[in-house]
Amino acid sequence: DCAPSPRKAPNRASPRPTMLAAWGFALSVAVASYHAGTPLRASHLSRSSVAASAAVPGRSNLAVRIAGIGSAAPDAVVSNNDLESFVETSDEWISKRTGIRKRHLLAHGAAISDLSIASAKEALESAGVAAEDVDLVILATSSPDDLFGDAAHVAAAIGATSAVGFDLTAACSGFLFGLVTASQFVHTGAYTNVLVIGADALSRWVDWDDRNTCILFGDGAGAVVISHSEDAKPDGTGCGLLGFDMHSDGKGRCELNLSYEGEERYLSETAGHVSKGSYGSIAMNGKEVYKFACSKVPKVLGAALESSGLSVDDIDWLVLHQANIRIIEAVASRLGIPMDKVIANLDEYGNTSAASIPLALSEAVKSGKVKPGDVIACAGFGAGLSWGGAIIRWG
């Protein structure tokens, strides 16, 4: 068991509650606190340690395809130099430790659901799928506009009149968990087209007086359309989700969380005291989160490769949650994947939590870097603690 993380006083000026906030930023802070050259502690995962294996029903070669993708980010861009005006930091300090140079921030009064809607519309257009043909909308977010969920609102806004919608909260693992969940619905034949959105505005929950966290966050959204693959074969031909692996460990909750800190209110002698809702700021144990990430991410990708029956040599691209360039470089090194096969855009967007994987992948597809048939290894990791990996074939 671990001791609870230190709590800050409730922020009465921002009483709107939220779900558990994404924790990928913790990797950034932890890495920044480590002395350069500190060796990685997780076991090295070499190419030879990831061998092909037999397909596992329900976990390998799912009969789905990623039919389309889209993304959206706020217009307002804040550079590292801009941050220097209100917090003690510098562009050199931030970029050297995190790889981040800019971040897009949602303006006061703006809605994260609007970014979800924009990315969803772009994904549908990319897929050539009409909104009324969408059966399910899964919105992965830890910072919804409405605590009861944004998915149904987004579905209505894009014209998905036949779709059921629900939010999925798994912080920075959210999009990957949503991708797997959607694929199960489509693979089993329950649904034909599922829209998966990852969207977060964690700038709402950052302490802008804390230079260790305020430098890291950006806001954004990304979406994909998961459709049934008519060409799927048992050997994986025509399949879009080749293998996956997902985990969570609630014992690590105290290492990274955004805790409820309600204000006490007395009602009556009979009713006693109740609580008026509010949440504090993100709290984390940087050292432990860093160790966690270095240990779990390479392993979960190795397990996903094993489920897919592929090896590291089969990977065309590596797309990780965009938390910190040092984490990305460390995971790539352990897997034996060269950096020219790594997709990263955190220099422009920072850590966008559940949006980071689809946002990075969307840019790579639009630029022509990712092509139909490419094999992509993805990994998300976040609060819970939670982590997961997936091997997908694009198009």
Q: Which residues are known catalytic residues?
A: 172, 321, 351
Query: And the tokens for 227?
Result: 């459709």
Residues sharing a CB contact under 8 Å with residue 35, sequence separation 6 or more, in sequence order: none
Question: At 12, which amino acid appears?
Answer: R
Among the listed residues 64, 77, 208, 217, the one whose alpha carbon sits nearest the alpha carbon of residue 136? 64
DSSP alpha helix (H) spans, the chain: 24-33, 80-83, 91-98, 112-127, 151-158, 174-187, 211-214, 286-308, 325-335, 346-349, 356-366
* Identity of the residue numbered 384: G
The neighbour count for residue 286, using CB atoms within 10 Å, is: 20
The encoded tokens of residue 81 equal 């130099």
Residues 6+ apart with CB under 8 A from 66: 224, 225, 226, 240, 392, 394, 395
> Alpha-carbon distance 388 to 63, whole Å?
20
Confirm if 176 and 390 have CB atoms less than 8 A apart. yes
Burial class (CB in 10 A: 0-12, 13-18, 19+), 93: middle
Alpha carbon of residue 315 to chain centroid: 20
Q: Can you say how many angstroms the Cα of residue 254 is from the centroid of all Cα atoms in its chain?
A: 20
Contact 394, 255 (CB under 8 A): no
- Cα dihedral 23→145→186→189 (10° resolution): 140
**Cα Rg, the chain, nearest whole Å:** 20
CA angle 219, 223, 224 (to 5 degrees): 160
What are the tokens at 148?
A: 């009861």
Provide the b/e sequence for 8-46 (b: ≥16 CB within 10 Å): eebeeeeeeebbbbbbbbbbbbbbbeeeeeeeeebeebe
